[in-house]
Amino acid sequence: MKKNITLVGLMAATMTIQAQNGGISADMLRQMRDAYQPTPSEKALHNAMAGTSIGVLAKNHEVLADFDTNFSNKVVSHGITNQRQSGRCWLFTGLNVLRAQMMAKHGLDDMKFSQVYCFFYDQLEKANLFLQGVIDTRKEPMDNKMVEWLFRNPLSDGGQFTGISDIIEKYGVVPAQVMPETYCSENTSHIARLVTLKLREFGLQLRDEAAAGAKTSALEKKKTEMLTTVYYMLAQAFGKPVEHFTWTYKGVTKEYTPQSFYQEFLGNDLSGNYVMLMNDPSREYYKCYEIDFDRHVYDGKNWTYVNLPVEDIKEMAIASIQDSTMMYFSCDVGKFLDREKGTLDLKNFDYESIMGTTFGMDKKQRVQTFASGSSHAMTLMAVDLDKDGKPKKWMVENSWGVESGYQGHLIMTDEWFDEYMFRLVVEKKYVPAKVLDILKQKPVRLPAWDPMFASEE
Three-state SS string over 309-341 comes to CHHHHHHHHHHHHHCCCCEEEEECCCCCEECCC
The mean-pLDDT minimum among 83-92, 125-134, 228-237, 429-438 falls in 83-92
Same domain as 106, residue 253: yes
* 317/340 Cα distance (integer angstroms): 26
Domain final position from 233, 265, 297: 265
* Residue 330 near residue 456 (C-beta atoms within 8 A): yes
pLDDT, residue 7, reads 47
Residue 391 banded pLDDT, cuts 50, 70, 90: very high
243 is a domain residue: yes
- 15: pLDDT strictly greater than 70: no
**Mean of pLDDT values over 392-412:** 94
pLDDT, residue 38, reads 93
190 catalytic per annotation:
no
* Residue 99 near residue 112 (C-beta atoms within 8 A): yes
Q: Answer with the residue of higher pLDDT: 65 or 371.
A: 371
Same domain as 192, residue 123: yes
Q: In which domain, by residue range, is 355 found? A: 63-75+273-453
260 is a domain residue: yes
Same domain as 278, residue 232: no
Which candidate, 378, 327, 179, 175, places its Cα nearest to that of 262? 175
Q: Which helix (H) or strand (E) holds 382?
A: strand 376-385
154 is a domain residue: yes
Domain final position from 212, 242, 265: 265
- 378: pLDDT strictly greater than 80: yes
Same domain as 254, residue 332: no
Same domain as 187, residue 204: yes
- 381: pLDDT strictly greater than 90: yes
**Mean of pLDDT values over 39-61:** 91
- 8: pLDDT strictly greater than 70: no
Domain final position from 265, 293, 311: 265
Same domain as 260, residue 277: no
Q: What is the mean pLDDT of the chain?
A: 92
89 catalytic per annotation:
yes
Which candidate, 378, 386, 366, 307, places its Cα nearest to that of 337? 378
Same domain as 289, residue 184: no
**Mean of pLDDT values over 14-42:** 82
299 is a domain residue: yes
* Active-site residue, from 78, 268, 348, 376: 376
* Active-site residue, from 89, 118, 184, 331: 89
- 57: pLDDT strictly greater than 70: yes
Same domain as 374, residue 248: no
pLDDT, residue 10, reads 47
Q: What share of the chain is helix, strand, coil (3-state, %, to 5)?
A: 45, 15, 35
Task: Give the dihedral sign, CA 72/377/274/176.
Answer: negative
Q: In the chain, what percentage of residues exceed pLDDT 70?
A: 95
Same domain as 429, residue 348: yes
In this predicted model, what pLDDT tens digit does every residue of 202-260 receive, in sequence order? Answer: 999 999 999 999 999 999 999 999 999 999 999 999 999 999 999 999 899 999 999 99
9 is a domain residue: no
Beta strand pairing status for 444-446 and 391-397?
unpaired
164 is a domain residue: yes
- 18: pLDDT strictly greater than 60: no
pLDDT, residue 50, reads 92
Same domain as 446, residue 297: yes
The CATH number of whichever domain residue 302 belongs to comes to 3.90.70.10
Residue 5 banded pLDDT, cuts 50, 70, 90: very low
pLDDT, residue 433, reads 97
10 is a domain residue: no
398 catalytic per annotation:
yes
* Active-site residue, from 82, 279, 348, 398: 398
* 41/356 Cα distance (integer angstroms): 12
Same domain as 327, residue 186: no
pLDDT, residue 20, reads 57
Instruction: Please give the single-letter amino acid code of residue 299.
Output: D
Beta carbons within 8 Å of 141's beta carbon, 6+ residues apart:
147
35 is a domain residue: no
**Mean of pLDDT values over 32-54:** 92
- 128: pLDDT strictly greater than 90: yes
Same domain as 293, residue 194: no
Domain count, the chain: 2
The angle at the Cα of 453, spanning 153 to 433, to the nearest 5 degrees, equals: 140
Which candidate, 215, 167, 187, places its Cα nearest to that of 87? 187
- 66: pLDDT strictly greater than 80: no
